[in-house]
Chain A
Amino acid sequence: MSGLTTAPRPRLDIPPRFRPSGVAAAALITVALVLVHWYAAVQTNTSPKELLEGWRGLWSFLFGVDRTYPNGKTIHQDGAFPLDLRWAETIRPGLEYCLLTIWIGLLGTTLSIPVALFFAVISSRTTNRFVPLWFLGRGVMSVLRAVPETVYALMFIAAVGFGAFPGVIALAIHNVAVMGKLWSEAMDEVDQGPVEALRVAGASPTQSAAHAVLPAVMPSLLGLLLYRFDTNVRSSVILGTVGAGGIGFFIKTEVDSFHFDTMMTYVCMVIVLIIVIDLFSAWLRRKVGTV
């Protein structure tokens, strides 16, 4: 074969990029999407007018307002700014509440590890080829995952009362389902070669899980664990607002007593807390990835 040739190549028709049926379908989908969103906007009173009327309320929330009562007295209601920066009354307790939020997220993540691992192993095709058990594992995790953490927290608060402990239990249960699913997917994607090699050597499914799958996926599992810790600290802020302890609980009580400046201080602390946890978890995940 010669490397270069001057002979002209044959001219071929270029296949069309769009077919008429495809164009019609795209138009139909666009119209349907617009209609659905219009209906949703009507149902939720979402309109530019509402936004303008809400603006006045937002302004008094942020910067305070003078309220004149029927008896002629005028009282100044403080807004969110300037922030409440008193050390002993606000910031020091705020830091303690933040730490409590971290402890809730940490325990909620760690306590779920054994059960999540069990569900991950029975829900992955690589480690469990007994179909009924596989379905059971997936099913239980779907049901547990369908209930939000907040709802679990409300249930456990009803059972044992306000406090950090119901928050820990709520996070742990939800995390079993979410982390179990993430872990089982990581195991599904593992290289099947070593699994096959151990099967030839006569290993049982449990043995090949312990000696081929787990060593291969351990870095992914650790990475996902750190990611869930990150997410669970965020969730524990929300759980606090329904009464499960931590900084969220105090954001809620300050709002309820119209201390918007203290509340906004706590919100700023949450922002810093979440960013720090996020950076820490990302840094640790990079470290784990290079082991």
Chain B
Amino acid sequence: MSEHAATLSIEGLRKAFGEKTVLDGLSFQVASGEVVSLLGANGSGKSTSLRCVVGLERPDAGTITVGGVTAKPGEAVPEVAMVFQKIHLVPRRSVLDNVCAGALGRLGLSRSWSVLAFPREVQAEAMACLDRVGLADRAREKAGRLSGGQQQRVAVARALCQRAKVLLADEPVSALDPAASEQVMNLLRSLADDDGLAVAAVLHQPDLARRFSDRILGLAGGRLVFDSSAEVTDEAVADLYRPALEAAASMASTGTATKEFA
């Protein structure tokens, strides 16, 4: 599907935390209708790159374009939504109120100072988004009462209520059991196929990445080391994790901790 125009385009992204360079000129594109997986060891810059796109981190250099428009560094982009490993719903609020919160960016304070002020059309739209993820019947339950997989689908519904064109997922299934993981990944796949979203997901499971994505990006040391269709060799994946595994192995054998682990 790479013949589509890139909906999300990242060009020469750089980011350092103090002395440590996390992103070292990272570039990649995600097209509408495409699922792209990001693989790499801890500290390879996967999450940081996504956080730069949505404005949670301010990149030191590089440009981010969404639908042809350059994003302002450090600011949220209305067309880009994100789901997180720890899901980050408000557990005491109802499922429906959590989904409505996705619309906050386009609501003035007079229509959003409290959940009681949410307009009916926003609540109706949130119900439609909940229906899309198959949880419309749980709308009035407290979000904290749902299972992990259901909560992650509510988070996806919140992203849909934001009317996002690009959905970033930061380890969306790392905290979920295999069945729930499968469900969430199927949902992400279907959002790309049927709704034309551009989906970029950080994953730690190479087999999930192979089965559900159109392309796999391998990251190491804040750079792209491969960008290929879902048929990635085992060796290429193993290479991504090799330095970390070797460091762990040497720690286990000598009993000395190394600071260069990450």
- Residues of chain A touching chain B, judged by Cβ–Cβ distance below 8 Å, are 191, 193-194, 196-204, 206-208, 210-212, 215-216, 218
Contact = CB atoms under 8 A, between A and B. Distances in A.
- The residue among A197, A199, A218 with the most chain B CB atoms within 10 A of its own CB is A197
A197 B114 contact: no
Q: Can you list the 10 inter-chain pairs with the closest CB atoms, starting with the nearest?
A: A202-B105, A193-B88, A203-B104, A197-B88, A200-B54, A207-B104, A200-B82, A202-B76, A194-B88, A215-B92
Contact of A197 (B82, B105, B107): B82
A204 B113 CA distance: 11
A200 B81 contact: yes
B54 to A, nearest CB: 5
A194 B89 contact: yes
B93 interface: yes
B106 interface: yes
Interface in B97-144: 97, 101-107, 109, 112-115
Which secondary structure dominates where chain B touches chain A?
loop
A1 to B, nearest CB: 8
Contact of B86 (A193, A202, A208, A210): A193
A201 B104 contact: yes
B81 A206 contact: no
B56 A216 contact: no
Nearest to A216: B90
A212 B89 CA distance: 8
- The residue among B82, B87, B104, B105 with the most chain A CB atoms within 10 A of its own CB is B104
Nearest to A192: B88
Given A201-B101, A201-B104, A202-B162, A207 B88 contact: no
Nearest to B106: A202
A198 B56 contact: no
Contacts of A216: 90-92
A207 B108 CA distance: 9
8 contacts: A194-B90, A198-B101, A201-B102, A201-B104, A207-B112, A211-B90, A211-B112, A215-B92
B73 to A, nearest CB: 14
A201 B162 contact: yes
Given A201-B101, A203-B104, A211-B115, 16 more contacts: A197-B158, A199-B76, A200-B56, A200-B82, A201-B76, A201-B81, A201-B103, A201-B105, A201-B159, A202-B76, A207-B104, A207-B107, A211-B101, A212-B101, A216-B90, A218-B92
B88 A201 contact: no
Contact of B105 (A193, A194, A196, A203): A203
A190 to B, nearest CB: 10
A134 B61 CA distance: 30
A117 to B, nearest CB: 13
B78 interface: yes
A207 B111 CA distance: 10
Given A196-B88, A197-B88, A206 B104 contact: no
- The residue among B56, B90, B155 with the most chain A CB atoms within 10 A of its own CB is B90
A194 B101 CA distance: 10
Contacts of A204: 104, 109
Nearest to A202: B105
Nearest to A206: B109
A188 to B, nearest CB: 17
Contact of A207 (B91, B97, B109, B158): B109
Nearest to A195: B88
B92 A200 contact: no
